[in-house]
Amino acid sequence: MESLLVSLVTVVGTGYSFGLHDLNWQLRYLFAIAIAAIFDLGASLLLVWPSGLVGVAIGTILAFLGLSMLHLLLVPIALRRPKA
């Protein structure tokens, strides 16, 4: 079940990541990935003790969900900004 959720969340976020890259927002995209990676590490470490490997999988799903939400927030902002 966890693998199905990861693919669902990844589909939502992946399309928007190309938008950030195409709009020359690579640095913001990099920060979004770094935030998600830090969150993934923290959530996985917190959940590994009570749930084991399933806790690590849930932490990864939460990080992918957070990255997708960051993409959904950043792309509309990037589209509203006029190009210089």
- Amino acid (one-letter) located at 61: I
Predicted pLDDT at 7: 61
Q: Tell me what the mean pLDDT of segment 3-16 comes to.
A: 58
Predicted pLDDT at 6: 58
- Higher-confidence position of 77 and 22: 77
Q: b/e for 53-83, b at 16 or more Cβ within 10 A?
A: eebbbbbbbbbbbbbbbbbeebbeebeeeee
- Higher-confidence position of 44 and 82: 44
* Residues composing the chain: 84
Q: Domain range spanning residue 24? A: 2-80
> What is the number of structural domains in the chain?
1
pLDDT tens per residue, range 36-58: 889 989 999 999 999 898 888 88
pTM: predicted TM-score of the whole model, two decimal places: 0.68
Predicted pLDDT at 77: 82
- As given in the structure block, the two tokens for residue 22 are 């195409």
Using the predicted structure, report yes or no on whether residue 2 has a pLDDT greater than 70. no
